[in-house]
């Protein structure tokens, strides 16, 4: 039987005469072989990762990752095909796998940083999470096409980020007050100096 895959799909053929798996865009499927189709379109995964900082302060990392196999890399396609040939692509297995990797890497990284470090270096923190997640996903032939982490969120009862935000604003406001009072002192000194002469 002759099978042809659609634009975003590949055929995975197993069985008679094939050692492992065979991936093709079009192929003859012989008796004793079975053929399944997998889609390589990237999928969006939305998570809210609960993590804790080095001081054991909890926070939430809301993230949306767009993840899929690398179509330009045969080895990645093979890894991905093997991963999903044992499961249905639409099943929860992929979701659980990706979620497990993202949660695991985020938690490990967060636990090595203080809340202030995470808050001050949110961009660096996110970049490091993406890098570590990508390293883990490589073994499954998966690639992060896009990753968006929204603002880190406080856990109710632990309003630490809002406190840090206010602290930063307060520091800026206090600095402005100091600047103003120093300026006034300079002006006053200048006047006093004139009165004495």
Residue 193's pLDDT band (cuts 50, 70, 90): low
In this predicted structure, the answer to whether residue 136 has a pLDDT above a threshold of 90 is yes
In this predicted structure, the answer to whether residue 6 has a pLDDT above a threshold of 70 is yes
- Give the three-state DSSP class for 149: strand
Q: Tokens 């990797």 belong to which residue?
A: 101
Buried b (16+ CB within 10 A) or exposed e, 40-78: bebbebebebebebeeebbbbbebebebbbbeeeeebbb
> pLDDT tens digits for 63-77?
889 999 887 888 888
- Counting Cα atoms < 13 Å in the Cβ hemisphere of 81 gives 22
The residue-averaged pLDDT of 80-103 equals: 77
The residue-averaged pLDDT of 11-23 equals: 87
Burial-class residue 193 by CB neighbours within 10 Å (0-12, 13-18, 19+).
exposed
Residue 53 Cα distances to 22, 116, 134, 136, 161, angstroms: 45, 9, 22, 22, 12
Give the C-alpha separation, 121 to 104, whole Å.
Answer: 20
What is the per-residue pLDDT for 142? 92
Look at 41-50, 86-95, 133-142, 178-187 and tell me which has the smallest mean pLDDT: 86-95
């Amino acid at each position: 039987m002759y099978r042809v895959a659609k634009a975003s799909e590949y055929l995975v053929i197993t069985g008679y005469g094939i050692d492992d798996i065979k991936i093709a865009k079009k192929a003859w499927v012989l008796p004793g072989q079975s053929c399944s189709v997998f889609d390589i379109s990237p999928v969006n995964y939305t998570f809210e990762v609960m993590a804790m900082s080095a001081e054991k302060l909890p926070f939430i990392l809301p993230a949306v990752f767009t993840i899929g196999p690398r179509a330009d890399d045969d080895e990645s396609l093979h890894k991905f095909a093997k991963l999903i040939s044992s499961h249905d692509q639409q099943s929860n297995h992929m979701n659980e796998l990706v979620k497990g990797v993202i949660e695991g890497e985020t938690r490990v990284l967060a636990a090595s940083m203080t809340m202030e470090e995470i808050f001050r270096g949110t961009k660096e923190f996110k970049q490091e999470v993406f890098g570590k997640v990508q390293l883990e996903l490589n073994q499954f032939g998966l690639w992060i096409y896009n990753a968006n982490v929204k603002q880190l969120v406080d856990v109710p009862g632990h309003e630490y980020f809002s406190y840090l935000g206010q602290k930063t604003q307060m520091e800026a406001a206090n600095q402005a007050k100091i600047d103003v009072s120093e300026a006034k002192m300079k002006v006053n000194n200048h006047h006093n100096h004139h009165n004495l002469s």
